[in-house]
Each structure stands twice: as structure tokens, then as C-alpha cells.
């Protein structure tokens, strides 16, 4: 594991955004999806979790946000444990973490801006949230923020369009806007380009890197391809069978380690 302090690209010392210590997750009390994962991720880092399907990348991302609770170990987000957090504290931690999903997770028949505004629900009290009439739930400042973020991701003129009219790449931009309007410090991107063609995949990952640097965010993304990870991450973590088998930069990588990540005969 890295030390508690890390350096960003400017040489400034940063605290860790995420600390994962001995985390395991067992499905149905039988199958170990994660097996003793330990990893520190510094503020402003862009990290890629790399490996084939089924090695635990998505499960680890869900554990970081406590969408599922690890069977063992601990995860801290900016020094706060998600394992011991009560409901209120966990909600506060989650406001710092935006999530971008593989299949977009949008409401196709709703307007683009209404989908983006869902990122503001973590800041709205329960009663107003239950009403779920946009004009009653969200403030004018929420709408202004959503419009600005849509412009930032290149969809400023699409605010009033229905999501089902958009292309796959545009839908993923909406999903990124929904995460950004949350004003997070971390974005977890779970296979964000696996359903896109190579050209659109590059566009979306370039956008994620751009907004991360502009907003000084930490990005943790899961990817199948080493080549894609090479172009869009500062450090990558190779996973195999629920374990970390490599952690470092691409200049540290060799064919033997690639074979280990992808579980090939050596």
C-alpha cells in the first residue's frame, strides 16, 4: 500500500481520498468475490481497475460507495469509515461520491435535465424528495447548476430533450453530468465505455479526465482493456480472482504480469 500521503502532478502533497484495508466480500456465504483487498487512492488521482469480467472490479466500486457492505475489512473516504457510519453520515459520505454506470441508468422517457437533477437528491430532505415533482423538489439554483453542467459536458442544447432520443455517447454524457451536479470529490465509473464503440469510448474517457483535472477530482474507473487504461489513467490496478495482482504504472508492467491479470497460462 502507498503511504497516507501522496503527491499530485503539481508536486503538492495530498491526503488519500480512499483507503481500502483488507476488504473481502463473500456472495451467498460461499463465493469470495473480493479476497483481502488493500489499496490507497490519493486525492486527484485517476485510477483504473483492470482485468477481465468477474474478477471483482464492479464489486469493489460498489463497496467503496457501500451500495453493498463488505464482509470484512474497512473502507475510509476522506478519513471516514463507511463500515461504521450511521445513516446520516453515510448519506453525507455518498454526496462526495458520484457514480457513472455501464448502462447509463437513466430514465429514458424523462427530460435530460430531469435526469441530471437526480444528482441533487442527496442534498434534499426526505419529504421534498418523496414528492418528486421537479418544480417542487429542486430550487432555481439546482436548475442553473444542471444547465451549466450540461454545457460543460457538451449537451447544453439538449436539456429539454427526452433521453430516448439520444445516442449512447450522449446518454453517457448525461450520466456524467448527473454525477457532476452532485458536486462530488470522487467519481466511480463502472465500465463506463464498454457499451460504446472505440471512437465514442475515447471521447467519454477524455471527457472524464478533462473534468477530473478541471474540478480536481479523484476518478476510479473499471476497464477491461489495458490499452484504454494506459491512455486515460495515471496508475492502474490489475485484478484477478478477487485479488490485486499488480499495482503501478505501465512502465512497471511486463508480459508475465499481463498474463497473470488475465489469468493466462504462463
Q: Are 129 and 121 in contact (CB under 8 A)?
A: yes
Q: Are 210 and 24 in contact (CB under 8 A)?
A: no
pTM attached to this predicted model: 0.89
Q: Read off the pLDDT of each residue in 99-112 and give the average, rounded to a whole number.
A: 91
C-alpha cell at 165: 432520443
- Which tens digits make up the pLDDT trace of 213-247? 999 999 999 998 888 888 899 899 999 999 999 99
Q: Read off the pLDDT of each residue in 250-265 and give the average, rounded to a whole number.
A: 84
The burial class, CB within 10 Å (0-12 / 13-18 / 19+), for 229 is buried
Residue 3, pLDDT > 50, answer no
C-alpha 19, offset from chain centre: 15
Structure confidence at residue 131 (pLDDT) = 53
C-alpha 88, offset from chain centre: 21
- Which tens digits make up the pLDDT trace of 110-126? 999 999 999 998 887 65
Give the whole-angstrom CA distance, residue 130 versus residue 192. 29
Give the whole-angstrom CA distance, residue 223 versus residue 242. 15
Amino acid at each position: 500500500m502507498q503511504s497516507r500521503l501522496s503527491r499530485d502532478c503539481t508536486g503538492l502533497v495530498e491526503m488519500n481520498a480512499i483507503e481500502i484495508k483488507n476488504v473481502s466480500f463473500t456472495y451467498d456465504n460461499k463465493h469470495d468475490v473480493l479476497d483481502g483487498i488493500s489499496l490507497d487512492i490519493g486525492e486527484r488521482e485517476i485510477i483504473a481497475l483492470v482485468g477481465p469480467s468477474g474478477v471483482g472490479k464492479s464489486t469493489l466500486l460498489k463497496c467503496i460507495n457501500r451500495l453493498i457492505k463488505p464482509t470484512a475489512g474497512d473502507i475510509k473516504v476522506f478519513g471516514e469509515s463507511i463500515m461504521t457510519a450511521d445513516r446520516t453520515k453515510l448519506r453525507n459520505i455518498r454526496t462526495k461520491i458520484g457514480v457513472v454506470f455501464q448502462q447509463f441508468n437513466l430514465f429514458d422517457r424523462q427530460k435530460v435535465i430531469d435526469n441530471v437533477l437526480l444528482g441533487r437528491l442527496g442534498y434534499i430532505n426526505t419529504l421534498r424528495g418523496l414528492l418528486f415533482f421537479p418544480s417542487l423538489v429542486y430550487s432555481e439554483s439546482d436548475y442553473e447548476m444542471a444547465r451549466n453542467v450540461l454545457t460543460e459536458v457538451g449537451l447544453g442544447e439538449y436539456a429539454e430533450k427526452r433521453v430516448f432520443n439520444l445516442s449512447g455517447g450522449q446518454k453517457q454524457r448525461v450520466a456524467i453530468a448527473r454525477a457532476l451536479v452532485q458536486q462530488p470529490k470522487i467519481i466511480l465509473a463502472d465500465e463506463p465505455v464498454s457499451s460504446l464503440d472505440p471512437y465514442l469510448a475515447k471521447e467519454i474517457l477524455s471527457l472524464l479526465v478533462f473534468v477530473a483535472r478541471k474540478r480536481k477530482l479523484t476518478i476510479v474507473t473499471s476497464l477491461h482493456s489495458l490499452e484504454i487504461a494506459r491512455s486515460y489513467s495515471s496508475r492502474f490496478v490489475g485484478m484477478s480472482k478477487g485479488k490485486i495482482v499488480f499495482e503501478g504504472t505501465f512502465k512497471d508492467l511486463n508480459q508475465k504480469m499481463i498474463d497473470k491479470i488475465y489469468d493466462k497460462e504462463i
